[in-house]
């Protein structure tokens, strides 16, 4: 999936009008909220209307957000929330490209790109942001004028894409698809129980179980963001309420999780061998928990050290916020 190019002055297509980001046509290729509530009203009984929106709405071309038509039609037929569109084709090329480029997966929730970058069409030199947008895995979540430039903010369109894409990425980053699925189920049970000892053991198992031969000659495991990317995509594959690079008045939290009426604040550090305890110290020193105190919910501060040498979690500290 990519754009038509208009590069040659001799091309018969060089006078095409690109309406991709024209607000007047923003709802052309999807169903609007009004469409769902009127045209598809007979199909709604028995379905959670809010879940319908969370799962399948969100595609935006600078105007009104729309639903993925394919998803809705299959949902109304099967009466089951599933990753219908994503299941039509595994994005192997995209996942391989992201891992080869050492892409820091937590930034998928919020990327920035300008008009020129998104207009690129050369597949051999396509920017990651442009590819993610053109293939439908990211959509516009905002825009602003910066002098003569128009900058767009990109993010996941909906829960379907967020969970399914990160599930594929987690399997690629871990190197064992079957084991990744098993670990996802186990992670959910650990979080529901609120068992931090079990969470520590789970994370150690997650990284320690990645085959040694997978690291050899694999450039992915050499970049520092690899550990945080595995962690983030492992959690995001469950569809949890995550905020990567959560902005506060004192800096950015690496990852915030809102789950089970509790707040979990994670900070990651990469060390050579031994744990240094700097991750938890940073959370406390910068008052990251202050942002969520007004909610009146339990807050957990979690500092994690990843060892570059041992390729696993070597430090795990937890305190109540």
Is the residue at 148 inside a domain? yes
pLDDT tens for each residue of 241-281: 999 999 999 899 999 999 999 999 999 998 876 777 899 99
- 28 burial via Cβ count (<10 Å: 0-12, 13-18, 19+): exposed
Residues 49 and 100 in one domain: no
pLDDT tens for each residue of 200-231: 999 999 988 776 555 555 555 555 678 889 99
Residues 73 and 45 in one domain: yes
pLDDT higher for 317 or 118?
Answer: 317
Is the residue at 44 inside a domain? yes
Q: CA 132 → CA 123, 128, 165, distances in Å?
A: 12, 6, 11
Domain boundary among the residues 46, 69, 87 is at 87
Domain boundary among the residues 87, 121, 140 is at 87
**Cβ neighbours for 210, distance < 8 A, ≥ 6 positions apart:** 174, 175, 176, 311
Residues 151 and 97 in one domain: yes
Q: Give the C-alpha separation, 263 to 253, whole Å.
A: 12
What is the average pLDDT across 162-179? 88
pLDDT tens for each residue of 180-195: 889 999 999 999 999 9
Is the residue at 38 inside a domain? yes
Residues 29 and 82 in one domain: yes
pLDDT tens for each residue of 21-70: 888 988 999 999 999 999 999 999 999 999 999 999 999 988 899 999 99
Is the residue at 187 inside a domain? no
Domain boundary among the residues 155, 175, 190 is at 155
pLDDT band at 11 (very low <50, low <70, confident <90, very high): low
Query: 158 pLDDT exceeds 90?
Result: yes
pLDDT tens for each residue of 77-135: 999 999 999 888 778 888 888 888 888 899 999 999 888 777 766 666 778 888 898 88
Is the residue at 18 inside a domain? no
Residues 27 and 83 in one domain: yes
Scanning 175-277, the segments in alpha helix (DSSP H) are 177-193, 196-208, 212-215, 225-236
Terminus-to-terminus CA distance in the chain, angstroms?
46
Question: The domain containing residue 118 runs over which residues?
Answer: 92-155
Is the residue at 235 inside a domain? no
Is the residue at 9 inside a domain? no
Is the residue at 261 inside a domain? no
Q: Give the C-alpha separation, 301 to 100, whole Å.
A: 32
Residue 21: per-residue pLDDT: 83
pLDDT band at 1 (very low <50, low <70, confident <90, very high): very low
Highest mean pLDDT (candidates 156-165, 269-278, 312-321): 156-165
Looking at the whole model, is its pTM more than 0.85? yes
Residues 63 and 119 in one domain: no
The number of distinct structural domains making up the chain is 2
């Amino acid at each position: 999936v990519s754009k038509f190019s208009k590069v040659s002055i001799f091309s018969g297509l060089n006078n095409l009008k690109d309406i991709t980001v024209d607000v007047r046509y923003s709802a052309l290729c999807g169903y609007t909220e009004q469409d769902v509530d009127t045209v598809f009203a007979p199909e709604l009984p028995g379905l959670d209307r809010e879940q319908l929106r969370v799962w399948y709405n969100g595609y935006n071309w600078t105007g009104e957000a729309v639903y993925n038509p394919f998803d809705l039609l299959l949902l109304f037929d099967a009466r089951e929330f599933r990753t219908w569109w994503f299941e039509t084709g595994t994005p192997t090329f995209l996942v391989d490209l992201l891992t080869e480029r050492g892409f820091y997966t937590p930034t998928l929730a919020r990327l920035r790109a300008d008009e020129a970058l998104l207009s690129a069409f050369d597949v051999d030199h396509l920017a990651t942001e442009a590819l993610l947008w053109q293939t439908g895995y990211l959509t516009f979540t905002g825009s602003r004028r910066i002098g003569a430039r128009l900058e767009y903010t990109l993010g996941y369109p909906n829960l379907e894409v967020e969970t399914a894409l990160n599930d594929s990425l987690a399997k690629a980053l871990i190197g064992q698809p079957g084991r990744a699925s098993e670990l996802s189920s186990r992670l959910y049970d650990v979080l529901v129980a609120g068992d931090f000892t079990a969470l520590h053991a789970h994370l150690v198992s997650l990284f320690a179980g990645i085959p040694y031969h997978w690291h050899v000659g694999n450039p992915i495991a050499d970049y520092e963001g690899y550990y945080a990317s595995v962690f983030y995509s492992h959690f995001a594959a469950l569809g949890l309420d995550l905020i990567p690079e959560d902005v506060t008045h004192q800096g950015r939290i690496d990852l915030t999780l809102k789950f089970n009426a509790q707040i979990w604040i994670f900070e990651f550090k990469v060390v050579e061998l031994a744990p240094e305890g700097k991750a938890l110290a940073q959370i406390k020193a910068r008052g990251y928990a202050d942002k969520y105190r007004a909610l009146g919910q339990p807050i957990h501060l979690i500092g994690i050290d990843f060892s570059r040498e041992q390729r696993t979690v070597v430090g795990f500290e937890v305190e109540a916020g």
